[in-house]
Amino acid sequence: MIIACKDITKSFGTNVILDGISFQIEEQDKVAIVGTNGAGKSTLFKILAGEWSPDGGDIFLSKGTSLGYLSQHLDLDENNSIYQEMILIFSHLLEMEKQLREYEQKMGQLQGKSLQEIMEKYSILQHQFEENMGYGYKSKIQGVLMGLGFTKDEFNQPIYQLSGGQKTRVSLAKLLLQQPSILLLDEPTNHLDIASIEWLELFLKNYPGTVLLISHDRYFLDRIITQTIEIENKKSTVYRGNYSFYAKQKSINREIQLHQYYHQQKEIQRQETIIQQLRSFNREKSIKRAKSREKALAKIERIEKPQFIPTEMKLSLAPKIQSGFDVLSVEGLCKSFDENPLFSNVSFQVHKGERVALIGPNGVGKTTLFRILLNELSSDGGSFHLGSNVYIGYYDQEQQHLSPEKTIFDEISDAFPALTQGEIRNTLAAFLFTGDDVFKQISSLSGGEKGRVSLAKIMLSQANFLLLDEPTNHLDMISKEILEQALIGYEGTVLYISHDRYFINKTADKVLELTSEGVTSYLGNYDYYIEKKNKQDTFPPSESPENTKTSQTKEEWLLQKELQAQQRKKESEIAKVEKEIEELEKELQQLDEKLCLEEFYSIPEKAQEVYYAKKSVEEKLESLYETWEELHL
């Protein structure tokens, strides 16, 4: 055990944030802290880091444990360059290096016994220097900075000239180079492009210490973590697996808890009815019995009703106007700023019904390309053409088109006056705004809530071609799932910029990789893109089919759609088998529990009946597992 919490509580005034948080983490564990926005994840991190004190409970740290915390608070010397800030971490090595140079200078001036003494000191210090990686710290600094997206030309840039995102990356680099026993990382993938996130994944997977992460990047979590701690309703629950395991198990647990909750509520109502009846008899003995039952009822530990989160979209999202087959054709676009080329020879096509992800490193010009397509910026060369009946809907991650003074309901009703109150409420409910939530002011909403309002507006508009710029930024896990369902069910065409690989995997049927030399197209989701990228089995940008005058034919597109339909059918079959497996595993668990009850194991006939039922379920499970494996071939 390297760190443990026991019954941690924290309140702000009368608002209880954490209540009885308990868990234990072993050395080298990679752990995610998950929960909805406002659940108390960052509060827990600040308590673990010692920035805040808990109101109750205990934290246990293994002896000699060092702890590093990446938060929004940046402890940087603004006058230092990026490289100078990194060098500060290795000040002890710089002192040793300075001492070694002094010894070398003296050795050239001394003789005899004095020389021997200096040589012995030099040998000891040099050994210590080597053990502390004194000859490798410069390359280590370079590797971490470049891994996090800095170029060598930027190493000497003063920190005061950096953006907020760049400063966060500098702080992350410092923390990784310090290599504490425990890393506390709060949203470390913010401000990183896909290449940098992949580098960080590999770094953290091989990190010799313990890592605790808060992140909304589900792909990132799946690749790194071995344990998930959820904070919900002020309590903590530990899941021994990655994010996907947690999400699946959480769904099962919610069903079980909901069943237990309703069962308890039924029993409480029954007891309350009995108490009322006993009191109605109005006799001394019946009143005593009623009081006795009331005391027993008061001692029952009440099960909290689990939060019901409707992540499935409940409405069809079909554009009012259908576009033609060819939605967007881009040929030879190029753009420079101050004679510095951003990108050139950008050519690609988007067809009706496609969900296309545009990816590429930070600074390559993805948002600039969108601004050109929106006619907000002119290109330096090339052209683009929208097809017939194409109407663009644009999602700005800053939500600048929302009116802060309006309520959510008014924002929708003012934009779409022909909608009835029922239609507006049904649409907002699909984006998790129910009851009085619809009367919240836009100015009071979180980033994720504003994002959901913006998405609802776009889906209700006449747009049939959506341009979405980083749509999952500021969204929590649930809001991301809502957006995924919305896009999967959307019958129009979508082109979006994203660094969220999990989101791309779930929604994209085509990936466009933008580089300074052009665009390469991959007909699949993110995993397909990675597979092809690793095999290098694709056209270079200059030879890509979409960079030639021979565009993708309708027959090829229809073939692609057929393959995608087959894949969706296969995924549906897998989901069906997995659901059957879950149900049988529950049944198996119930049968195991029966075998432990005296009313069964004490009667041979009943025990034998349960035993044979269990064997039957196990045989069915074995068959389903074989089917599942075959479907994954």
CA dist., res. 499 & res. 505, Å (int): 11
The per-residue DSSP string of 262-309 comes to HHHHHHHHHHHHHHHHHHHH--HHHHHHHHHHHHHHHHS-PPPPPPP-
Residues 623 and 537 in one domain: no
Q: For residue 343, give the CATH number of its domain.
A: 3.40.50.300
Q: Which of 128, 161, 194 is the last residue of a domain?
A: 161
pLDDT at 481 over 90: no
Residues 477 and 433 in one domain: yes
Reading across the β-sheet that carries 493-497, which strands appear in turn? Answer: 392-395, 465-469, 493-497, 355-359, 510-515, 518-522
Look at residue 240 and tell me if it is in a domain: no
Look at residue 453 and tell me if it is in a domain: yes
Residues 377 and 478 in one domain: yes
Look at residue 7 and tell me if it is in a domain: no
Instruction: Report the DSSP pairing between strands 493-497 and 465-469.
Output: parallel
Whole-prediction pTM: 0.67
CA 597 to the chain's CA centroid? 43
Look at residue 47 and tell me if it is in a domain: no
Q: Which of 132, 161, 190 is the last residue of a domain?
A: 161
pLDDT at 632 over 70: no
Look at residue 561 and tell me if it is in a domain: no
Look at residue 63 and tell me if it is in a domain: no
pLDDT at 551 over 50: no
Return the top range by mean pLDDT from 22-31, 335-344, 420-429: 22-31
Q: How many Cα atoms occupy the beta-carbon half-sphere of 224 within 13 Å?
A: 31
Q: How many domains does the chain have?
A: 4
- As a whole number, mean pLDDT of residues 596-614 equals 75
Residues 269 and 343 in one domain: no
Residues 531 and 584 in one domain: no
The string of pLDDT tens digits covering residues 217-240 is 889 999 999 999 999 889 999 998
Q: Residue 330's closest CA among 371, 369, 376?
A: 369
Residues 358 and 493 in one domain: yes
Residue 539: count of CB within 10 angstroms of its CB: 13
The string of pLDDT tens digits covering residues 531-544 is 888 775 544 444 44
Residues 588 and 467 in one domain: no
Q: Which of 511, 527, 552 is the last residue of a domain?
A: 552
The torsion angles phi and psi of 199, rounded to 5 degrees, stand at -65, -45
Q: Residue 463's closest CA among 316, 318, 326, 313?
A: 318
CA 69 to the chain's CA centroid? 19
Residues 545 and 514 in one domain: yes
DSSP state of 238: E
Structural domain boundaries enclosing 259: 248-299
CA dist., res. 155 & res. 146, Å (int): 9
Q: What is the pLDDT of residue 355?
A: 95
CA dist., res. 363 & res. 633, Å (int): 39
Q: What is the pLDDT of residue 545?
A: 43
Q: Which segment of 43-47, 476-480, 513-517 scores lowest on mean pLDDT?
A: 476-480
Q: What is the pLDDT of residue 474?
A: 72
Residues 143 and 253 in one domain: no
Look at residue 178 and tell me if it is in a domain: no
Q: Is-contact 464 319, C-beta < 8 A? A: yes
Residues 432 and 464 in one domain: yes
DSSP state of 465: E
Residues 448 and 489 in one domain: yes
Look at residue 233 and tell me if it is in a domain: no
Residues 277 and 338 in one domain: no
Return the top range by mean pLDDT from 35-39, 124-128, 224-228, 295-299: 224-228
Whole-number mean pLDDT of the chain? 84
Q: How far is CA 241 from CA 187, 227, 228, 229, in A?
A: 20, 5, 6, 10
